[in-house]
Chain A
Amino acid sequence: MRILYALALIAGLAALITDHLTSPSSARAVSPEDFAGACAPCGAPCPSTQKK
């Protein structure tokens, strides 16, 4: 189990660093609720604004 953890830690950290260095970053960390029209923590729209 320790070896699995060590491998997961190394692979995960490498993936995170690669993703961070190859992707754009916001000026500050955001959550989907920061965007206009978001009605839930995942950014889903409100029922009243959903397209009929």
Chain B
Amino acid sequence: MSTATLETPAVAATPRLDWPFLIAAVLATAVLVTLVVLDGRPASAALIVLGFALGVAFLKAEFSFTAAWRRFLVCGEAGGLLAALLLIAVAATVIVPVAALVPGFGGAIAPIGPSLVIGAFVFGIGMQFANGCGSGTLYTAGGGSGRMLIALALFIVGSVIGSLHLPAFLALGGIDPILASTYFGPWGGLAATLASIALAALMIAGVARARGASFRPRPTLIVGAVAIGLISIGVFLAGHHPWSVTFGFTVWGAKIAALLGFDFSHAEFWQWAGPKRALGESILSDTSSLTDLGMIFGAMAAAAAAKPFARGAWPPARSLIAAAIGGLLMGWGARIGFGCNIGAFVGGVASGSLHGWVWFAAALGGCAIGVRLRPAFGLSRD
């Protein structure tokens, strides 16, 4: 036996493709698509497939609202935040005019008041504890992070609790939604929306420069932002409303709670027409659930296609506790604050609705608190 042979470590052949999980993710998607196609709903099938594409795009681009906001707050780095604004601008070019001009389509709107501000602020804290927002939780949980699987479970619990509290927060008051297209028409509304995004981008880049930090997004982030923006246009055209994430979680949680004997017949939220119908009907009749499920399976397929799936070790207990608390806060905050980074921020701003910017400001404030508290759970501040 030669010396060379003795010194060469025996490297076990590690497969790049994780076939069982790749096949499982594709098969699960195919099953869901088949179920809705058999019901004669091609648009629902499109939402599942578009959700799948979103899962792949988020995972491949490592598109993270949470990390981007944290880097901006901690060191002024603005590349991730500007990439998110690019995503919103791409989506707005179709959403604002179509929502205003085409019957049956509508933008993401929400009342502006204490409920929006409190919910978004709490959501922002939760984002930093969990290390992921609504979309981030979906694609990282789907991508093989056991920690984010815990965050997702508690996100669902928190959103059901939030649904029970929302009517009381709405009673605190507020004003009706303010849409740019209502004041300036479809094309003027689009111009005003793009101008507001450009102004925000200039302000954010200005802060980054003043702090001596970079404001240029990585090339993969730019590609990811454009791809996700285009896919979210597809979601809008198939679902008739901008992409949203967290209402699906609320429906899933309420269905499980009802199965366990919880009675929602006296809960005001669940007597409103939309939630009542969603609770009574198949989960596959809810637009946000369709894209959520597609996104989980898309992220799973993309992760399993790149390396062995879910092979990582569990993080320390304190990190898991942070994920659980973060998920709970995000779920509650998303329901009280009318959505997450996707439904409220991306969807709201891309619809030309003022509530999107209010949500962003309040959630960024919550993130600032969350970032300061992260070390208590053994998480880094940057």
**Residues in A lying within 8 Å of B, measured CB to CB:** 1-2, 4-6, 8-9, 13, 16-17, 19-20, 23-48, 50
Q: A29 touches which one: B146, B250, B286 (CB < 8 A)?
A: B286
Q: Does B70 contact A (CB under 8 A)?
A: no
Inter-subunit contact B273/A43 (CB<8 Å):
yes
Inter-chain contact A39/B286, CB cutoff 8 Å: no
- Do the beta carbons of A32 and B274 come within 8 Å of each other? yes
Q: Are B338 and A41 in contact (CB under 8 A)?
A: yes
**Chain B residues with CB under 8 A of A34:** 106, 240-241, 274
A-B contact pairs, 17 of them (CB 8 A): A1-B146, A1-B311, A2-B311, A13-B28, A20-B35, A23-B285, A24-B282, A28-B41, A30-B274, A31-B247, A39-B110, A41-B339, A42-B166, A44-B272, A45-B170, A46-B176, A50-B170
CA distance A17 to B283 in the complex (A): 9
With A and B bound together, what is the CA distance between A43 and B246 in angstroms? 13
Which residues of chain A are within 8 angstroms of B343 by Cβ–Cβ distance?
Answer: 41
The residue of chain B having its C-beta at the shortest distance from the C-beta of A8 within the complex is B149
Which residue in chain B gives the minimum CB-CB distance to A45? B272
Quote the shortest CB–CB distance from B134 to chain A (angstroms). 12
Shortest Cβ distance from residue B334 to the other chain A in the assembled complex, whole angstroms = 9
Query: B28–A31 contact, CB under 8 A?
Result: no
A43 to chain B, nearest CB (A): 3
Count of CB-CB pairs between chains A and B under 8 Å:
169
Chain A residue nearest to B39 in the complex (CB): A25
Please, which residue of chain B has its CB at the minimum distance from the CB of A4?
B146
The residue in chain A whose Cβ has the minimal distance to the Cβ of B169 is A44
Across the interface, A43 reaches (CB within 8 A) one of B40, B43, B274, B310, namely B274
Contact with A31, one of B31, B177, B244, B309 (Cβ below 8 angstroms): B244
- Docked complex Cα distance between A19 and B109 (Å): 30
| Cα distance, A36 to B273, chains bound together (Å) | 8
- Convert B78-121 into 0s and 1s, putting 1 for each residue whose CB lies closer than 8 angstroms to a CB of A: 00000000000000000000000000001011110100000000
Contacts of B278 in A (CB 8 A): 30, 32
Beta-carbon contact of B272 and A46 below 8 Å: no
Where the two chains meet, the residues of B that have a C-beta atom closer than 8 Å to any C-beta of A are 20-21, 24, 28, 31-32, 35-36, 39-41, 43-44, 47, 106, 108-111, 113, 144, 146, 149, 163, 166, 170-171, 173-177, 239-241, 244, 247, 250, 255, 269, 272-275, 277-278, 280-288, 290, 293, 309-312, 314, 335, 338-339, 343-344, 347
Known: A1-B311, A5-B310, A42-B247. A47 touches B285 (CB 8 A): no
Q: Pick from A13, A25, A28, A38: contact of B282, CB below 8 A.
A: A25
Most buried by B among A13, A20, A39: A20
Bound-complex Cα distance A2 to B307 (A): 13
Q: Determine the chain A residues whose CB is within 8 A of the CB of B144 once the complex forms.
A: 1, 5
Closest to B342 in A: A41
B32 to A, closest residue via Cβ: A16
* List of B residues within 8 angstroms of A48 by Cβ: 176
Contact A19 B113, beta carbon cutoff 8 Å: no
Q: Is the Cβ of A35 less than 8 Å from the Cβ of B309?
A: no
> Known contacts being A5-B21, A28-B44, A39-B176, is A13 close to B31, with CB within 8 Å?
yes
Inside 8 A of A5's CB, which chain B residues have their CB? 21, 144, 146, 149, 309-310
- Interface contact A4-B173, CB-CB below 8 Å: no
Q: A30 — which chain B residues lie within 8 A by C-beta?
A: 274, 277-278, 285-287
Chain A CB within 10 Å — which of B21, B31, B272, B278 has the most? Answer: B272
- In the complex, the chain B residue whose C-beta lies closest to that of A46 is B176
* Interface pair B272/A23, CB less than 8 Å apart: no
- How long is the Cα–Cα vector from A46 to B255 in the complex, in angstroms? 26
Nearest 8 interchain pairs by C-beta: A32-B274, A43-B274, A35-B273, A40-B110, A23-B282, A20-B282, A29-B44, A31-B287
